């Protein structure tokens, strides 16, 4: 299935786990050099928004509220960045926690952070498919079709889908859509 958002073509598909979305790709997206000194091995990428990923021995041991804000607002990144910590459990499996800009706090799952984390871990010699366990508890899977020079192709994020509710808008007939 294809959708268009802000003029960008988005691909979606159903999976056994729920649904998958192909993450943004192209010249503007991909892994880039980490633009500042960080306290752990790190990766940085752009996927429509900036993502800083730090590899740590234990995500549970990280005080994200102390670690993330100075990195999120670092002068090397004028618009700021999302900050995630990742703990590799086994090849292709990791835990992740994310601090998102705009929210200015930890979120249950950052899809774009998971995508950049998986691409970076793959670029570091890891497999091209990762299962990540975010703070929200429901695992997401990422598969990377290709990764060359920091640029990814066919980077798919999949996971469960839940209907949280529905909203029906009452639009007067005079303001409705007409054919």
The answer to whether residue 175 is domain-embedded is no
The answer to whether residue 96 is domain-embedded is yes
- The tens digit of pLDDT for each residue in 99-128 reads 999 999 999 999 999 999 999 999 999 999
The answer to whether residue 167 is domain-embedded is no
| Contact between 125 and 107 (Cβ < 8 Å) | no
**For position 57, which CATH number holds?**
3.10.310.10
58: containing domain? 2-159
The answer to whether residue 79 is domain-embedded is yes
Domain count, the chain: 1
Question: Given a cut of 60, is residue 89 above it in pLDDT?
Answer: yes
Question: Given a cut of 70, is residue 138 above it in pLDDT?
Answer: yes
Please report the pLDDT score of residue 57 as a whole number.
98
The answer to whether residue 127 is domain-embedded is yes
Q: Report how far residue 5's alpha carbon sits from residue 8's, in angstroms, rounded to the nearest whole number.
A: 5
Question: Given a cut of 90, is residue 12 above it in pLDDT?
Answer: no
Higher pLDDT, 157 or 6: 157
The answer to whether residue 89 is domain-embedded is yes
The answer to whether residue 179 is domain-embedded is no
Question: Given a cut of 60, is residue 46 above it in pLDDT?
Answer: yes
């Amino acid at each position: 299935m294809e959708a268009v958002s802000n003029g960008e073509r988005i691909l979606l598909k159903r999976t056994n786990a729920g649904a998958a979305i192909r993450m943004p790709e192209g010249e503007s997206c991909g892994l880039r050099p980490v633009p500042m000194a960080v306290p752990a091995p790190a990766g940085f990428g752009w996927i429509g928004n900036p993502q800083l990923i730090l590899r740590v021995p234990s995500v549970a041991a990280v005080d994200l509220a102390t670690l993330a804000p100075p990195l999120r607002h670092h002068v090397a990144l004028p618009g700021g960045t999302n900050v995630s910590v990742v703990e590799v459990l086994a090849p292709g499996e990791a835990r992740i926690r994310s601090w998102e800009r705009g929210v200015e706090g930890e979120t249950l799952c950052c899809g774009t952070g998971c995508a950049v984390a998986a691409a970076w871990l793959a670029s570091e010699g890891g497999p091209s498919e990762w299962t990540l366990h975010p703070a929200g508890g429901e695992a997401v899977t990422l598969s990377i079709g290709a990764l060359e020079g920091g640029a990814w192709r066919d980077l798919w994020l999949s996971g469960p889908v839940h209907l949280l509710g529905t909203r029906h808008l009452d639009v007067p007939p005079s303001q409705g859509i007409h054919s």
